[in-house]
Amino acid sequence: MDAILLSFGLAPLAAKIISMVIICVIVLLAFVTIGGILTLVERRIAGFMQSRLGPNRVGPQGALQWVADGVKLILKEDLIPDGADRVLFRIAPYFCLVGIFGTMVVFPWGQGVIVADLNVGLFYFISITALVVFGVLMAGWSSNNKWSLLGGMRAAAQIVSYEIPVGMSLLVPILISGTLSMGGIMAAQGWLPWDWMAFRSPFTVLSFLIFFIGSLAEANRTPFDLPEAESELVSGYCTEYTGFRYAVFFLSEWANLFVFGGLTTAVFLGGGNLPGVLEGYTILSVLVYLSKVAVIIFVVIWLRWTLPRFRIDQLMTLSWKYLLPGAFIAFLGQALYMLMTQQIPIVQSVVAVLMFLVFVFVLFRFAIRVRVNMSEQRIPVNSPASDVS
Amino acid sequence: MTSALKTEYLTINMGPQHPSTHGVIRFILKTDGEIIYECDPDVGYLHRGIEKIAESVTWQGFVPYTDRVDYVCAMNSNLSYCMAVEKLMGMETEIPKRAEYIRVIVSELNRISSHAVAIGAADMDMGAFTPFIHFLREREHINDLLEMVCGARLTYNYICIGGVNNDVSPTFLSKTAEFLDHFEVVVEQINRLISYNKIFIGRFADVAVVPPKMAIDYNLVGPNLRGSGIKFDVRKDKPYSVYSDLDFDIPVGSGRAGTLGDCYDRYMVRVEEIRESIKIIRQCLQQIPEGETKAIVKSTIKPPKGHVYFRTETPRGDTGYFLYSDGKTSPMRLKIRTGSFTGMSIIPEIARGVFIADLVAIIGSLDIVAPELDR
């Protein structure tokens, strides 16, 4: 980018700044698009699960619904409630936005496709997403609304609690790969499922599960969506927000979903690794990566529309009594396991394949269960009511 | 050592526009953080003065108003009022048998749809949106069936003094049987989706326990009373219509997930009542005789002087109609006793020291319906 600008005869510093701005705009637009599309995807999947259609009017199959929603939100008045802390109220959404969009810097889109492969990439990732807490807490406090305040408090308590097990469970892949850089962790895995971090040993499976559950809670997704529990806290910390600021919260929430899927894929599910013969086809690598992310996102959305939510005390119990000790066990266990099997790599490979087979078996059992459920249905679930009468 | 910091309770206004106070119910909460210290229900937002209206309409003219008393189960309200008037006129024995069976079929269908909404709304308040939508889909089937009977989907005005307004078609009976076969499976499926879910049980079990004595003291009725383990059902204990000829059980709470009388017991009693209603309708479909569907009733009736109190079992519990006639064309006084009101009155007692999230569970498990609460 710099080189192109320099060829126009710009001064080096100006070229640098302009190229940075351009990259920033691209990043912003990319995440806005992803966040927007995910809102649509979520609503369509929800519709599918609930025997209804979901948005299908704007554009082909409702594909442009998110644009219409965005335009509508931007055209709305930006209302600040009476008695609100105006400064905090105004800047709160941007903390959420920056917290999520900042991860773009170390986002590993595929083999070698990464903006900056920092040597502390994973650490940076965890740190910058912690900014979201500030945004949520500020929004809750400044709104001058008791429901918002409760929502903000809940969110702060929840995100801070769950960051610990999540951070602890991430230590396991770091232990295996010996690096904090996203590219390095991805490179330490292979393209086959048993080369992925998630299936290396029983302890990595445990840490993967803890990471997944903890990240769900950090992303405020059901069953951990307490901060904005609609039936309890009206709309949580964003109750008083309107227009563009609300859109910013909204976008960062769904962009967060993508970030969550991306991190899980990169750290535990082999990222965009390709078989040796296909090495170097970057586009293919990105596609592999994105398809894995899509699967994770689908699972998260699926969970959201299936499960009820926890109560605040149950949520804390889960984090401090189960996930945190579990994460410690995973970390220590993995360290011991690596020490013991260091000399005999064949054991490691066998265990990894075994773990993957267990996973496949669980999937298989689940599929059978679904089949039984579906066969018991006499009238198809999705038949319109008019078929009966 | 006393703290130098001054602390005070947080006063929060929950409702009347809160997402989980379905309809317009309002609570004024005093909380310590998220824990409720005091909960003060404020009723009357949906008061329409139906009991007063009764004094200026004819006896038959009041039937459509009973639809509006509890629009989630309008048939049961119709039935309750009409049977009360029939008792007042002393014509209980003149009602044709076929009409009685049709009344039971439609009111049990309506009970199923009402319980489906109650269960679904409780699920939705717990954050599970999908079961609610699935229950609404099933309720559509019932609405379609009742539409075949009387042309209306929510407020039916179908049961009338002396019988039912028109006969049902054989298609309705066969479609009902078909629907029951379908719905029996669906209930179990939705149970597997939500009722047996560990998170859901965790939310409902051991929350807001109503011991049997407290339930009687606060005059709880219907599924709320039975959830506390007391086997009382007007259909069984003071049978009306043809319920004495039918074979069905009365499900009671047993503390299956925690303590006897907790939210989960009340919830599961409703789920099981759906199964019992299916059983009742099946028997009715087999036993229903041919014949007239309406006794001869004058267009303007003047019941003899006197008063009567008649109770039926609606989905919200023991609903009673007190009628006072002075021999004129409209009631002199009419009083409706509803289950939601007593359900509401127990909330301050059981909502002390629980989380705000639990209050939502309590409202859901008591199945409080705003129009019935305020009339």
Q: What is the pLDDT of residues B260-280, one digit of tens each?
A: 888 888 888 999 899 889 989
Q: What mean pLDDT do residues A214-242 have?
A: 77
| Position A361 confidence tier, pLDDT thresholds 50, 70, 90 | very high
What confidence score (pLDDT) does residue A378 get? 53
B120: tokens are 């679904």
3-state secondary structure of B39: strand
Residue whose C-alpha is closest to residue A185's, from A119, A117, A267: A267
Does B97 map to a domain?
yes
CA–CA gap between residue B343 and residue B373 (Å, rounded) = 9
Sorting pLDDT into bands at 50, 70 and 90, what band is A89?
confident
Across the interface, do A388 and B175 touch by the CB < 8 Å criterion?
Answer: yes
Mutate: best of A49, A149, A231, partner B, most B CBs <10 A: A231
Please report whether residue B163 resides in a domain. yes
Total tally of structural domains belonging to chain B: 1
Write down the ipTM of this complex: 0.81
Strand partners, B12: B29
In angstroms, rounded to a whole number, what is the distance separating the alpha carbons of residues A366 and B65? 51
Q: What is the pLDDT of residues A11-33, one digit of tens each?
A: 778 878 887 888 778 877 888 88
Residue in B343, B43, B375 with CA at minimum distance from that of residue B218: B343
Classify residue B2: in a domain, yes or no: no
Tokens 């009594």 belong to residue: A321
* Sequence-ordered list of residues with C-beta below 8 angstroms from that of B331, at least 6 positions apart, any chain: B54, B55, B59, B62, B323, B324, B325
Q: Which pTM was predicted?
A: 0.85
B5 domain-assigned: no
**Chain A to chain B Cβ contacts (< 8 Å):** 114
Contact A309 B134 (CB under 8 A): no
Inside any domain, residue B1: no
The CA radius of gyration of chain B, in Å to the nearest whole number, is 21
Band of pLDDT at residue A377, cut at 50, 70 and 90: low
Residue B169 in domain:
yes
d(Cα B253, Cα B231) in Å, to the nearest integer?
A: 9
What residues 153-192 of chain B have any CB closer than 8 A to a CB of chain A? 175, 178-179, 181-182, 185-186, 188-189, 192
Structure tokens given for B111: 């009970």
The Cα B346–Cα B216 span in angstroms is 11
Q: Which of B164, B163, B150, B161 has its CA nearest to residue B82?
A: B161
Instruction: Say if residues A261 and A300 touch (Cβ distance below 8 Å).
Output: yes
Task: Give the CATH number, domain containing residue B200.
Answer: 1.10.645.10
- Whether residue B3 is contained in a domain is answered as no
From the list A198, A324, A335, the residue with the least C-alpha distance to A263 is A198
Amino acid sitting at position B240? Y
Least confident residue range of A51-60, A65-74, B210-219, B340-349: A51-60
Nearest by CB to residue B185, choosing from A378, A385, A389, is: A378
Question: Does the structure show a pLDDT above 60 at A388?
Answer: no
Query: Does B98 reside within a domain?
Result: yes
Contact A388 B10 (CB under 8 A): no
What per-residue confidence (pLDDT) applies to B289?
86
Could B147 and A146 be called an inter-chain contact, meaning their C-beta atoms sit closer than 8 Å?
Answer: no
* Model pLDDT for residues A307-320, shown as the tens digit of each residue: 888 888 888 888 88
Q: Which domain holds residue B190?
A: 10-374
Contact (CB, 8 A) for B59 and B161: yes
In terms of CA atoms, which chain A residue is nearest residue B132? A50
**3-state DSSP assignment of residue B155:** coil
* Closest chain B C-alpha to A234 CA, distance in angstroms: 6
What is the pLDDT averaged over residues A252-262? 86
pLDDT tens by residue, chain B, 375 residues: 566 777 788 888 887 777 766 778 888 888 887 888 888 888 888 888 888 888 888 888 888 888 888 888 888 888 888 888 888 888 878 888 888 898 899 989 999 999 998 898 888 888 888 888 888 888 888 888 888 888 888 888 888 888 888 888 888 888 888 888 888 888 888 888 888 888 888 888 888 888 888 888 888 888 888 888 888 888 888 888 888 888 888 888 887 888 888 888 888 899 989 988 998 999 888 888 888 888 888 888 888 888 889 888 888 888 888 988 888 888 888 888 888 888 888 888 888 888 888 888 888 888 888 888 888
The contact set of A with B (CB < 8 A) is 46, 49-52, 146-147, 150, 153-154, 222-223, 225-226, 229-234, 305-314, 373, 376-379, 381, 385-386, 388-389
CA separation for the pair B232, B342 (Å, rounded) = 16
DSSP states of A224-259: S-GGG-HHHHTTGGGTT--HHHHHHHHHHHHHHHHH
